[in-house]
């Protein structure tokens, strides 16, 4: 429970974060809580393609579907990270390449832009079986009164089983991480990735890339208006 003064400060902080374009993570009161990170982590088993099943609201992914991440080795302590997806309105694919420094077991510092620090972990793997699901968490204490969090549930299949997701969500429950802010990512009617797992097959884009919302729902709504 936070008092009235702290609550007011928290609301002001939310406005400040949003105004500065930091509304890419969910704000919470207090400092970052303790979470249980994997004691052992097999980097090589984690490599390859992961599909985003759900996540906390994330500004850089607004309006996108078919989101995926592909991890590959650069050297003993560095991974290449390719994040991609498709714009639901235009059907245009896009991706961005970054790096992930391995700072410890299940602790990575991911950076996509020049100047991003890679000395503190911002990608914590709370749990994975390497073959079906991974639960990833990030938290930054902005002040002693507030923190911002983001959570991802990643899966090896675009449309995983209910049991797989239940197992992943149990890890969030075990760490007392709220599921209220999770948003499911659309992974249906997605073009196949190319052989390198870094882009979508051109031949599939014209058929599947445009979202049903744009191709059917929106035109029908305009016609009826």
Question: Is the pLDDT higher at 28 or at 212?
Answer: 28
> How many C-beta atoms surround the C-beta of residue 178 within 10 A?
13
pLDDT, mean of residues 135-142: 91
Cα–Cα distance measured from residue 151 to residue 139, given in angstroms and rounded to the nearest whole number: 9
Report whether pLDDT(70) > 80: yes
- pLDDT of the residue at 49: 97
CATH class of 4-212: mainly beta
Give the residues across from 133 on adjacent strands: 155
Write the DSSP assignment of 161-185 as a string of letters: -HHHHHHHHHHHHHTT---TT-EEP
Cα–Cα distance measured from residue 36 to residue 44, given in angstroms and rounded to the nearest whole number: 21
Report whether pLDDT(12) > 80: no
Query: In this predicted model, what pLDDT tens digit does every residue of 144-178 receive, in sequence order?
Result: 788 899 999 999 999 999 999 999 999 999 999 99
Report whether pLDDT(209) > 80: no
**How far separated are the first and last CA of the chain, in Å rounded?**
47
Report whether pLDDT(22) > 50: no
Least confident of 35-39, 139-143, 176-180: 139-143
pLDDT, mean of residues 67-93: 94
- pLDDT of the residue at 201: 67
Question: Is the pLDDT higher at 101 or at 62?
Answer: 101
Burial status of residue 37 (CB atoms within 10 A of its CB: 0-12, 13-18, 19 or more): middle
Split at pLDDT 50, 70, 90, the class of 88 is: very high
Whole-prediction pTM value?
0.80
Pair 98, 83: CB distance under 8 Å: yes
Least confident of 21-35, 99-113, 127-141, 169-183: 21-35
Burial status of residue 86 (CB atoms within 10 A of its CB: 0-12, 13-18, 19 or more): buried
Average pLDDT, the chain: 82
Report whether pLDDT(221) > 50: no
Cα–Cα distance measured from residue 182 to residue 167, given in angstroms and rounded to the nearest whole number: 15
Q: What residue ranges do the domains of the chain occupy?
A: 4-212
Report whether pLDDT(203) > 60: no
Least confident of 15-19, 32-36, 132-136, 204-208: 15-19
Cα–Cα distance measured from residue 22 to residue 47, given in angstroms and rounded to the nearest whole number: 29
Handedness of CA 101, 103, 104, 107 (dihedral sign): negative
């Amino acid at each position: 429970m936070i008092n009235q003064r702290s609550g007011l400060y928290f609301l002001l902080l939310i406005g400040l974060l949003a105004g500065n374009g930091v509304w890419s993570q969910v704000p919470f009161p207090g400092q970052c809580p303790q979470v249980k990170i994997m004691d052992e982590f097999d980097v090589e088993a984690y490599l390859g393609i992961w599909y985003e099943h759900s996540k906390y609201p994330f500004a850089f992914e607004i309006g996108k579907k078919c989101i995926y991440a592909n991890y590959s080795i650069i050297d003993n302590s560095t991974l290449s990270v390719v994040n991609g997806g498709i714009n639901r309105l235009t059907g245009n694919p896009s991706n961005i390449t970054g790096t992930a420094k391995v700072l410890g077991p299940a602790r990575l510092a991911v950076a996509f832009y020049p100047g991003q620090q890679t000395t503190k972990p911002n990608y914590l793997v709370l749990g994975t079986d390497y073959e079906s699901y991974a639960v990833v968490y990030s938290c930054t204490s902005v002040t002693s009164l507030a923190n911002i969090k983001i959570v991802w549930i990643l899966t090896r299949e675009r449309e995983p089983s209910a049991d797989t997701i239940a197992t992943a969500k149990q890890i969030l429950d075990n760490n007392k991480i709220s599921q209220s802010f999770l948003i499911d990512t659309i992974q249906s009617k997605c073009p196949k990735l190319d052989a390198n797992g870094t882009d979508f097959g051109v031949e599939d884009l014209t058929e599947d890339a445009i979202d049903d919302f744009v191709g059917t729902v929106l035109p029908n709504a305009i016609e009826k208006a």
